[in-house]
A = this chain, B = another copy of it.
Amino acid sequence: MTTPPPAQIGMPLSEVETPALLLELDAFERNLQRMAEAVAGSGLRLRPHAKTHKCAVIAMRQLAHGAVGVCCQKVGEAEAMVLGGVPDVYVSNEIVGERKVARLAALARQARVSTCVDDPAQVAALSAAAQAYGVELPVYVEIDVGANRCGTAPGAPGAALAREVAAAPGLHFAGLQAYHGSAQHLRTQAERAEAVQSAVAKVRETTEALQQAGLPCETVTGAGTGTFVHERDSGVYHELQVGSYIFMDADYGQNLDADGKPVRTFEHSLFVYATVMSRPTPQKVIVDAGLKALAVDAGLPWVPDVPGATFERCSDEHGRIALADGAAGPAIGDKLRLIPGHCDPTVNLHDWYVGIRKGRVEALWPIVARGAGL
């Protein structure tokens, strides 16, 4: 049930089978370097999100560039990262279910494993498992800072739950999970700055309530690729959970800087490689990558290599690309690169990264946590 890699090391790019997930290694490494530089000297810790790449090889490269560990969303992802050598994994998500909580506690015997809660029911389950496995789990309290998803209300409710964590045997209150997901994709810098300002106010409200309760807040953790400069400069965050910066995608490619120009701090390094399988009309190009190779929830992919080309429809196994009038399009059998609309769920459709440098396959990295939803 594991698919074979679509390439062999040493092949020219043009021989890679499609659809394939390409990682342009030079751009990827520049992204690693730029994030390290952006955080250096700030006093903050970098804890990139492994939900983006699901690959232990990439996690270890992030650690080599200064990360203190990684975040995950699922216990299965955390298991894959620890097996792959990551010594410190934070499951930045509420883990519910007896077997999952047991797996989390068991994993904490192999590595530093932390997680978060937003309800007393989760606290009780984690405490029981931590005691059963003889571990102490660092536990964060998630507060809703604007994502409108999980999290307690800021202020007193967050502090009340923190008290329960601190009092629970086997658990250590580690701080606040304060991630503003929807802020990442606000298009203007002013909107993103304002959203993070509002998140920061909610964090402050909660840290003050914690102080009144006599509970120190060691760490405030959050931020994503779209907003991390604001969290970094906020004075309240300690740890950054950026994920997409290593790859970028067409959605992030639409974020604008203070001058209204696309933010280009990080480069597109992730591509879906596709073959032209049909040329039914001069203006129509059909490629062999559809919904099973590309996530379209955040929009259709871009076609960077073909001038005048627009990806206009995605069905299960096909992509339809329209060419501008007069554009000379590719021929049947030609291959082209697509920039996915949304990198995380696109990665989850593939089993291998095909690492490319200077037009040649240099690496094949297994996406070990692909499908690790449990």
A207 CB to nearest B CB, Å: 20
Residue from the list B97, B149, B151, B277 in contact with A333, Cβ < 8 A: B97
Chain B CB within 8 A of A114 CB: no
A252 CB to nearest B CB, Å: 14
Residue from the list B99, B118, B371 in contact with A278, Cβ < 8 A: B118
Residue from the list B119, B278, B293 in contact with A94, Cβ < 8 A: B278
A373-B19 contact given A97-B275, A149-B315, A291-B295, CB 8 Å threshold: yes
Name the residue of chain B whose CB is nearest to the CB of A143.
Answer: B280
Chain B CB within 8 A of A366 CB: yes
Name the residue of chain B whose CB is nearest to the CB of A317.
Answer: B73
**A278 and B332 contact, CB distance less than 8 A:** no
Which of A122, A295, A296, A366 has the most C-beta atoms of chain B within 10 angstroms of its own C-beta? A295
Name the residue of chain B whose CB is nearest to the CB of A2.
Answer: B1
Residues of chain B lying within 8 A (CB to CB) of residue A2: 1-2
Chain B CB within 8 A of A318 CB: yes
**A277 and B94 contact, CB distance less than 8 A:** yes
Which of A278, A279, A297, A342 has the most C-beta atoms of chain B within 10 angstroms of its own C-beta? A278
Chain B CB within 8 A of A121 CB: yes
Chain B CB within 8 A of A288 CB: yes
Chain B CB within 8 A of A66 CB: no
Residue from the list B181, B293, B333 in contact with A315, Cβ < 8 A: B181
**A332 and B279 contact, CB distance less than 8 A:** no
Residue from the list B296, B344, B371, B372 in contact with A297, Cβ < 8 A: B296
Name the residue of chain B whose CB is nearest to the CB of A97.
Answer: B275
8 Å CB interface, A37-62 against B:
51
Other than A1-B368, A3-B371, A118-B278, give 7 A-B pairs with Cβ distance below 8 A. Answer: A17-B99, A19-B373, A94-B277, A96-B276, A150-B286, A291-B295, A292-B345
23 A-B contacts, Cβ less than 8 Å apart? A1-B367, A3-B76, A3-B371, A3-B372, A3-B374, A4-B374, A17-B374, A18-B97, A93-B277, A94-B277, A94-B278, A97-B275, A97-B333, A119-B279, A149-B286, A149-B315, A150-B278, A288-B373, A291-B342, A292-B345, A293-B373, A297-B297, A350-B371
A interface, CB within 8 angstroms of B: 1-4, 6, 17-19, 51, 73-74, 76, 93-97, 99-100, 118-119, 121-122, 144, 148-153, 181, 275-280, 286, 288-289, 291-293, 295-297, 313-318, 320, 331-333, 342, 344-345, 348-351, 366-368, 370-374
Which 7 pairs from chain A and chain B are nearest by CB? A150-B278, A73-B317, A291-B345, A96-B277, A1-B2, A94-B277, A292-B348
